[in-house]
Amino acid sequence: MSVPVFPPARDPLDALASRGVAGARHAIDHLDDAMVVMAGLRRRLVGVVAHGKRVAGRPLRDGQREAHVLSRARQVAARVAVPGDTADALMRVLISDACRQQAQSVPSSGVPAMPSHLIEAGRTRMLGLLPPPRRWQPLLRRLPRALHAPLVVRVLARALRCLDPASLDLVRGRRLGIAIDDLGLEWVLSWDGGRLVACTAPAEATVRGSATDLLLLASRLEDADTLFFQRRLVLTGDTELGLTVRNLLDRLPWEELPLGLRIPLQRSSLLLRAARDAHRRR
């Protein structure tokens, strides 16, 4: 009579490590997908640049611009602990790709028009590959608060310059929280001494929502009443403070905001909304 042979019991630590590796690789796959999608979006913008250069009669290569791109990449890399040579290599690949694309581009009149339904299908497919904000949460949570909080303060402070400083006395010293639930990010902001600051004290009132809905609100592409009524945005804590801040922002003259702020806000909002719609259709 043969004796059954059983495989040796697996070490629990080995099993745990294997699951950790599999999970990390799954996340890496999604990040790789996102980088390829972003490269595709970058190429579309390069096409706009190529057309502008042709119209203006400007040369293909712009050494000053390329140096600026490399310098910015090194600065960002230093903040997120990425080696400078890795950032250089990545950006040089993108620069080379952009140069090839511009060299091969021809006036649109010489290119057969692609059917609109194929263009839309390709756009939807590309947007569907972009990972939703919640997939970025584990990565963003590792970023030090000292990196992203000053950026938020700087962007909002630029917008608040369009308001009468006296009107902000209503919220002087009060603490308002902004929570992006799907990204796992939260900041507490206060208007203090004529400037906007990030603080570590608990918020008196907090506006919560998804990255997409908060951007749609900030870019005036969706109405605050609609977002709150549909519970896509939620106000917790001191309701009176939240309504006061909302009324102040309603009085913010959108047309007076710097173009350098309005355009990125609206385009990123449209991109996130389109990506969310593409995911819902899959």
CATH of the domain at 84: 1.20.59.10
**Which pLDDT score is estimated for 146?**
77
Instruction: Please indicate, yes or no, if residue 231 is contained in any of the structural domains.
Output: yes
Q: How many C-beta atoms lie closer than 10 Å to residue 216's C-beta? A: 25
Does the CA dihedral 60-61-65-71 come out positive or negative? positive
Instruction: Please indicate, yes or no, whether residues 145 and 103 belong to a single structural domain of this protein.
Output: no
Q: Which two tokens stand for residue 224?
A: 């605050």
Instruction: Please indicate, yes or no, if residue 1 is contained in any of the structural domains.
Output: no
**Which pLDDT score is estimated for 238?**
93
Question: Helix, strand, or coil here: 172?
Answer: strand
User: Which has the closest alpha carbon to 138: 184, 75, 107?
Assistant: 184
Q: Is the pTM of this model over 0.85?
A: no
Instruction: Please indicate, yes or no, whether residues 23 and 88 belong to a single structural domain of this protein.
Output: yes
**Which pLDDT score is estimated for 37?**
79
Instruction: Please indicate, yes or no, if residue 134 is contained in any of the structural domains.
Output: no
**Which pLDDT score is estimated for 125?**
66
**Which pLDDT score is estimated for 122?**
59
Last residue of a domain, one of 78, 113, 148: 113
Q: Which two tokens stand for residue 182?
A: 């799907």
Q: pLDDT under 50 in the chain at which residues?
A: 108-114
**Which pLDDT score is estimated for 111?**
46
Instruction: Please indicate, yes or no, if residue 146 is contained in any of the structural domains.
Output: yes
Query: What is the spatial distance between Cα 245 and Cα 168, in angstroms, rounded to a whole number?
Result: 9
Instruction: Please indicate, yes or no, whether residues 75 and 185 belong to a single structural domain of this protein.
Output: no
Between the two ends of the chain, the Cα-to-Cα distance in Å is: 56
Q: Which two tokens stand for residue 78?
A: 């230093």
**Which pLDDT score is estimated for 119?**
53
Query: What is the spatial distance between Cα 280 and Cα 282, in angstroms, rounded to a whole number?
Result: 6
Instruction: Please indicate, yes or no, whether residues 149 and 97 belong to a single structural domain of this protein.
Output: no
Domain count, the chain: 2
Question: Which phi and psi (to 5°) does residue 205 adopt?
Answer: -145, 145
Instruction: Please indicate, yes or no, if residue 127 is contained in any of the structural domains.
Output: no
**Which pLDDT score is estimated for 3?**
53
Instruction: Please indicate, yes or no, whether residues 159 and 266 belong to a single structural domain of this protein.
Output: yes
Instruction: Please indicate, yes or no, whether residues 173 and 263 belong to a single structural domain of this protein.
Output: yes
Instruction: Please indicate, yes or no, if residue 179 is contained in any of the structural domains.
Output: yes
Q: Residue 204: CA atoms inside 13 Å, Cβ hemisphere, count?
A: 16
Task: For residue 155, give its domain range.
Answer: 139-281
**Which pLDDT score is estimated for 109?**
46
